[in-house]
Each structure stands twice: as C-alpha cells, then as structure tokens.
C-alpha cells in the first residue's frame, strides 16, 4: 500500500477535488517540460524548478526540493521521467516532516488541557471567522463542549458572523458587541469555559489593527486576562491564511509571526486556486505545523492536514 495509499476514501476524494486546480496546473506545465524526454536531466530539473516557483512553493523551498532530487539522480545514476512524480512526492513529504508538520488523525485536543484554549489570528478576509465556525462544528460533532468568543470587536460583521455560526451549530458565543474591549470578551469566554467544564474555547481576534505594535499589545492583553483563569493558556495560537493569495499569504505569515507566537496554521480557500503549493513554502519557511486546510464551503471541507494525503493529491497524476 505504501505511504500514499491509506486514506479514507471520502476525505481523499474531497481533497483531490479541492486541489484539482493546483494539480492540473502543475501537471500541464510539467507535461510540456518533459515532452520527448526519457530521463531526468539538468534541463528537466531547471523546468521543474520554474514550475514549482510558479506554483507558489517559493524560491527557497523550491531550491531545497530540487537539490534533494539532484542528489537522488546523482546517487541512482539514472532516473526516468516516469519516476519523477513519486520521487517529488516523497521528497516533499519528507520536507514537511522536517518542518514540524504533524499528522493529526482527527479533530482532537489534549485530554489533560480542559478547556483547551485556541486563540485565532489572521487578517480580515482570509476566512478566519468561517474557519472558527467550521472548527467548532467539527469539535461539536465529536461530542466536545465548545464555547466561542467574539473578540474581533472592530468589525460588526465578524461578531454577527460568529453569532450566526453559533446558532447554526448549537455552540454558545460570548459577545459584547462591536467596539467593546476584546480582552473583556476573552476574559468572559474563558471564565464561562472553566465554569461550565467546556472541552474547547475558541477566541476570534481582530484581523486588522493600525500597527504591528497595536496588534502585539492587543494580543498580549488578551493572553494576560486568559491566564488569570488558566496560567498556561492559550494552548494554541492558530494563524488563518488564505491559500488563494499565494505569496501574499506567506507575507502575512511573516508579519504575524513577528507580532505574536504562532503555534499552528490553517490554510483556507485552496479549492479555488492553482496556488496550493504555498502550503509547502509556508510550512518550510516558518517551521510551524499546518494543522487544518480548507478545500470547500461545507463544514466537512475543513480538513485535518495530513502531509501524505496533501502531497499525494497535489502531485499525483490521476
């Protein structure tokens, strides 16, 4: 069966469908590059390098991948173009492993951390609030007691959207409305989580503050009030990025990791783009685990990230 053959059929089909644009774009370009070629030579590798970069894998990460394949070609003396697909998948999956990307089996939280507090950050428009709603629904489906905090109080739409998700999924939402103190919302959310024995507390935060200093100060304040109830919280700072923006998502990751400690990533909107390779580049540059990916509009289209499944869907010829 090998590394790339053990996934649930339904999840894999949805992932294949969600990454179809990225996959087709990659293989259309690769097909032209290797036309008439039988072996992987310097010309093929040069073409592959350009294709990976234009697939938003990123320059530095692409160079690493090409170097690894060059080493295998040198070691094996001969590599046919038909082998390139499998070799590419193996090397990228290995790279993701080295970048601290972990394979979760399901939407789970540590049993010894209750409530498990997730602080969600990201700029407006990346699907942050929607990701929180889907995440809460996935946890609720697994009999987890979830409480949401609407601490993105600078946007009425964010507060209203989170409340709507709460009503849709039957998950309580703590909200003080727009233009209220985000830290106060976070305080009341975690307090309710502790008082009611919640399994998971998820707190939305502002997507746009005027400067990085403001962002740092706001998040630091939220963390301080949370820690009055749970000294080690937040247990996770989840950065949501829009995969369809390609290298712009990488720039956003760079800014947020400077402003706060990010411990995990969710990359959304991969179904509407040919830029799926950005997941690899972001993971490689920041060494932060990719935990969730979004491959569609439905709740179940927010998937737990598995590097083997992802690489298989992105770089396998159907």
Question: What's the CA gap between 88 and 14, in Å, rounded?
Answer: 22
Nearest-CA neighbor of 75 among 35, 48, 40?
A: 40
pLDDT, residue 38, reads: 82
| Least-confidence region, from 114-123, 178-187, 209-218, 285-294 | 209-218
CB neighbour class for 277 (10 Å; exposed up to 12, middle 13-18, buried from 19)? buried
Q: How many CB atoms lie within 10 A of CB 246?
A: 20
Residue 6 pLDDT exceeds 50: no
How many residues in total does the chain contain? 318
pLDDT, residue 232, reads: 95
Residues 6+ apart with CB under 8 A from 238: 118, 119, 120, 121, 262, 263, 264, 265, 266, 291, 292
Question: What's the CA gap between 94 and 96, in Å, rounded?
Answer: 5
Tens digit of each residue's pLDDT (9 = 90 or more) over 116-147:
999 999 988 899 999 999 999 999 999 999 99
What Rg value do the Cα atoms of the chain yield, rounded?
Answer: 21
pLDDT, residue 8, reads: 67
Question: What's the CA gap between 175 and 148, in Å, rounded?
Answer: 9
Question: What's the CA gap between 187 and 174, in Å, rounded?
Answer: 10
pLDDT averaged over every residue in the chain: 88
Query: Between 306 and 186, where is the model more confident?
Result: 186
Instruction: Look at the pTM and tell me if it is higher than 0.85.
Output: yes
pLDDT, residue 102, reads: 67
Structure tokens at 40: 């992987």
CB–CB of 265/293 below 8 Å?
A: no
């Amino acid at each position: 069966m090998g590394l790339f053959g053990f996934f649930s059929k339904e999840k894999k089909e949805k992932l294949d469908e969600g990454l179809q644009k990225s996959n087709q774009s990659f293989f259309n370009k690769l097909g032209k590059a290797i036309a008439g070629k039988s072996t992987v030579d310097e010309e093929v590798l040069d073409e592959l390098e350009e294709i990976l970069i234009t697939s938003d894998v990123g320059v530095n990460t692409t160079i690493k991948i090409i170097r690894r394949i060059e080493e295998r070609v040198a070691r094996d003396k001969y590599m046919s173009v038909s082998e390139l697909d499998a070799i590419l998948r193996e090397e990228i999956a290995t790279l993701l492993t080295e970048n601290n990307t972990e394979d979760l089996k399901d939407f789970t939280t540590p049993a010894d951390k209750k409530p498990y507090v997730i602080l969600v950050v990201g700029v407006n428009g990346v699907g942050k609030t929607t990701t929180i709603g889907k995440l809460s629904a996935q946890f609720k489906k697994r009999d987890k007691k979830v409480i949401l905090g609407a601490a993105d109080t600078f946007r009425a739409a964010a507060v209203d959207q989170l409340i709507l998700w709460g009503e849709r999924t039957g998950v309580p939402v703590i909200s003080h409305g727009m233009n209220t103190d985000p830290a106060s919302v976070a305080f009341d959310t975690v307090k309710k989580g502790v008082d009611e024995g919640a399994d998971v507390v998820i707190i939305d935060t502002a997507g746009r503050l005027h400067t990085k200093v403001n962002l740092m100060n706001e998040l630091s304040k939220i963390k301080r009030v949370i820690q009055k109830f749970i000294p080690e919280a937040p247990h996770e700072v989840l950065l949501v990025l829009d995969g369809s923006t390609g290298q712009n998502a990488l720039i956003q990751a760079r800014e947020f990791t400077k402003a706060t400690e990010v411990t995990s990533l969710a990359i959304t909107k991969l179904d509407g783009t040919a830029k799926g390779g950005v997941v690899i580049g972001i993971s490689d540059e920041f060494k932060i685990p990719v935990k969730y990916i979004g491959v569609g509009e439905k709740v179940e289209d927010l998937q737990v990230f598995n590097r083997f499944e992802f690489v298989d869907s992105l770089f396998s010829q159907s």
